[in-house]
Amino acid sequence: MFIDADAVLDLVTSSNDPVERIKNVGAALVEIQNLTAELGRLRREEVEELKAAGMSQNAIARAIGLTSARMSQVMNNAPAPERAFFGVKIEPIIAAVAEKREADKPKPGPVISIDDMQAYDGLRNLVADLGLTSTYEVVRPPGNIWLNRNGLVVICGPRHSSLIEQVLGSDDKLSFEKDDAGWHLVDHVEGVAYRSPEDSDEPGDIAYLGRLPRPDGKGYFLYLAGIHAAGAAGVVHYLGNELASLYREVRNRRFSTLIQCRYDPETHTIISSERITPVYKHEG
């Protein structure tokens, strides 16, 4: 109906080299498995929407020609709908993590903060639970990042990348700002400036979470960054608890919000996280 099986078979067997044909078949099987998973996710999402509208699962099963037992199996085996929060293109999630230069060290040089690595580790575990793989790359000074990619999650504050600072300018609801007291976040809708608890020697931070437009105009990338490094881990902690509800609210549309977190001052492990602004949806 949707896939020309003969064309696929012709394509994977077109090479005269048996080894190349085996590779082609393997690559095609991986794509088919990924497509099967995504279609299962879509079906589960549609079923859950019908259930939310008041239709029983048994009635849905009858409407699409499945037994109740088969419908339960379909729902249990399909990926969670919220995995599409990271993009519907089935590719490894790529976390771009900022490299920092610590000037106060005896030998100044590039480092990745413990907090940022905790953020990536939490993100890796989160997407693994959704059936996705992940990798990370280091964003080195001056912070140039190839943003025109599917499945990209950027963990890099504007102080480390002028490119990110420019892209953040597309958000007229929330922004990073800097004054004599340092970096902070501003909610322009409510007219509120948020300072990091860490700047008052409290073990906590505030972070930005949202989707920003790709420079090529072909979609968005996921962006999360704190006023300080702990904020990014706080966002991942929040997503670990609230991803399903956030996905239902924003789907694959552009949005932004602010997250506040508290952490253990000894280990920097995130203790709690909460959203402190509305989820602002950006039209267009």
Q: Write out the two tokens for 3.
A: 């896939």
Confidence (pLDDT) at 6: 84
For 207-217, the pLDDT digits (tens) are: 999 999 999 99
Is 106 a residue whose pLDDT tops 60?
no
| Per-chain mean pLDDT for the chain | 90
Predicted pLDDT at 197? 97
Residue 31 has pLDDT above 90, yes or no: no
The confidence score (pLDDT) of residue 101 equals 56
What pLDDT is attached to residue 89?
A: 66
| 58 vs 72: CA distance, rounded Å | 9
**φ, ψ for residue 152, nearest 5 deg:** -90, 130
pLDDT at 178: 94
E strands, 192-235, where? 192-194, 204-213, 220-226
Check residue 227 and give its pLDDT.
Answer: 96
Q: Predicted confidence band at 1 (pLDDT cuts at 50, 70, 90)? A: low
**Beta strands in the chain, from DSSP E residues, in sequence order:** 93-98, 100-101, 110-111, 134-139, 152-155, 174-179, 182-187, 192-194, 204-213, 220-226, 255-263, 270-275, 280-281
Q: Report pLDDT for 256.
A: 98
Check residue 110 and give its pLDDT. 54
The rounded distance, in Å, linking the Cα atoms of 72 and 67 is: 9
pLDDT mean over 102-131: 77
Angle between helix axes 230-250 and 114-129 (nearest 10 degrees) is 30
The answer to whether 199 touches 178, Cβ cutoff 8 Å, is no
Name 274's bridge partners: 260
With a cut of 80, say whether residue 194 has pLDDT above it.
yes
Dist CA 148 CA 141 (whole Å) = 19
Q: What is the pTM of this model?
A: 0.86
pLDDT, residue 284, reads 53
**Over residues 24-32, mean pLDDT:** 87
The 3-state DSSP class for residue 75 equals: helix
In this predicted structure, the answer to whether residue 99 has a pLDDT above a threshold of 70 is yes
Q: Give the least confident one: 52-56, 84-88, 119-123, 264-268.
A: 84-88
Please give the pLDDT value at position 58: 93
pLDDT at 182 over 60: yes
Q: What is the pLDDT of residues 249-275, one digit of tens each?
A: 999 899 999 999 999 999 889 999 999
The pLDDT, as a whole number, for residue 277 is: 98
Distances 161 to 143, 144, 166 between C-alpha atoms, Å: 4, 7, 9
- Which run of H or of E encompasses 242? helix 230-250
Q: Is pLDDT at 189 greater than 80 in this prediction?
A: yes
